A and B are shown apart, each in its own frame.
Chain A
Amino acid sequence: MKALLIADHDNNHLSEQTAKALSAASQLGAVDVLIMGHDCTEVASQAACLSGVGRVLLAEHEALKHQLAEPCAEAILSIASEYQAIVSAASTTGKGVLPRIAAKLDVMQISEVIEILDEKTFKRPTYAGNAIQTVQSNDSIKVLTIRTANFATTENAPTSAEVVALDITLGQQRSVHISDKVSDSERPELQSAKVIVSGGRALGSQENFNATILPVADKLGAAVGASRAAVDSGFAPNDWQVGQTGKIVSPDLYVACGISGAIQHLAGMKDSKVIVAINNDEDAPIFQIADYRLEADLFEALPEITRLLS
């Protein structure tokens, strides 16, 4: 079986999610990686270094600069017939484009794969992770998005794979990119961070969130997460949201502060290696899955932790 892996990148850096999706795709067979973008040869060289990559296909085009779903789908479909599997991380880019591929190929996509049993059988979570389905696809081409939290990162290979430039012709575009408002933060990204410190509704305000959560995160070199309740209350931006409707993460250490542990939040972080919960409510459901639980007032415990780490 030959798999085509769609790379996630920002025209400069290859996302760590791609290295994780690669270890999933490699279980299916030989993997070519497709880089779609503009002025992104650097990304191609990064992808070429990953272990298990057959070829890196580089599709550069002005219309692919922002990796909008429509032109990306066109580019993928132009080479899809050479593959038996089209794979991507379940990033917002992957989730946007892959169903288009599936529809055009008339196959059913398998979303958010957490385990590959064999080349046509997969496990995926449904009902916010409360029910794990084992599904079999008999479609001629498998279209899969990968929940990268469940797969290890691929290491670098001793030698680089070949980079092949593709000549892509695209039709007239009816989606135009206007602007991006991307949070420019020095902190690691949620989905690749080793440590995440998350805050919930108990923080009470955006000021408290920033004053209490951020110093601990800075001390730990951690990414910052938030529960949906905290995001809905305006304490934290939406792209910090961890949960079924936000980001799915699996860091080495997840520190949940003032998060009660609604099902939808647990769905996003329960695969973390070590979970710490800090909450003053001893009945908080988060305590049932935490490795270490500290029943304490956040506004005392977190500054204390910050001080002790200094």
Chain B
Amino acid sequence: MSYDGKTPMLDDLEKGAWPSFVKEIKTAAKRTNTAKDLLGILERSYRDKVTHWKHGGIVGVLGYGGGVIGRYCDLPEEFPGVAHFHTVRINPPSAFYYTSSALKELCDIWDKYGSGMTNMHGSTGDLVWLGTQTDKLEPIFAEITAKGWDLGGSGSCLRTPSACVGMSRCEFANIDTMSICHTMTHKFQDELHRPAFPYKFKIKVSGCANDCTAAIARADMSIIGTWKDNIRIDQAEVKNYSSKMNIQEEIVGMCPTKCMSFDGGSLKINDKDCNRCMHCINQMPKALRPGKEKGATIMLGGKAPIVTGALMSWVIVPFMKLEAPYDNLEALIRKMWEWWDDNGKNRERIGELVDRLGMRSFLEATGLPPVPQMVKAPRTNPYVFWAPGEVK
């Protein structure tokens, strides 16, 4: 059966107030056969209740092991425009800052070689180009690299690091997230483009515990800005807030560690008990500010449920001073990778390896000291033991 251009099931998804992906693909279909056949094969998939995509594992550009995700359809005669429908991942600038001319430059390349459809941004953080053919990959690569862009990561490699806007426009940033992301991307070019790990590894950098990159749930290594000293309090501003909000109920009562008290006039914080969650600072930004001794909490092991179940990140360094060129961070990451490389099974994320071999093995390999912040849940301490040689 040949495709007649009609898409009754997709048309239903144009209704309603929200922007519709169907409307966008239809707009693109006026210009390219790729988009036209994408509509057709999607309508067909809805009707057949089965995907018509096949994974292509070997397509890419010469020398790189990542950045292109191969896709073919299983109905190429019926939908020739999507016989090849490869995805290209473009490594974005830190925190997704583009000038309008940079976006135009990228879109011009994509209109020339691909479907014109994009996904900004994919969950890894790359600018994603949807739909091109195998013979267009090298020309795309040549054009983007000539203009200073590069492919992002895919496969068993370091995925494109990502960061929140940090100090560029956020008053809560405790670390220079964009600089860290940019520097790590440059330091780890080999690991990004030439997959040599047991599986993927994601680094995400958030400037504070609000964690705008959702690193804690999504990154194998979360770098979360924090502070070591005391929260700075402006009691006059606290008084102003007290006329507009119920500080006892909304701030003190919701503090997760119950480290605050308010007597109606001034706010007191027992900083030793504070876990730097940012709730009070978010609610009263004029009255409360992070301390002056800033750095990051380094966490390990967050991941979505792909091979095994989802994991949340786990503290491995409660406080690390982070200043350019971040050699201390690089050294830690390389030690972690070495241990993972030596012990990880195929498709085993680093957090899963910690679960399998134990935190003790990880700590011995990296030289990190066991600290109370590593305890994942109350009354659990499964990894700190005396080794036989340490007992006198």
- Does chain A bind chain B? no
Instruction: List residues of A whose CB falls within 8 A of some B CB.
Output: none
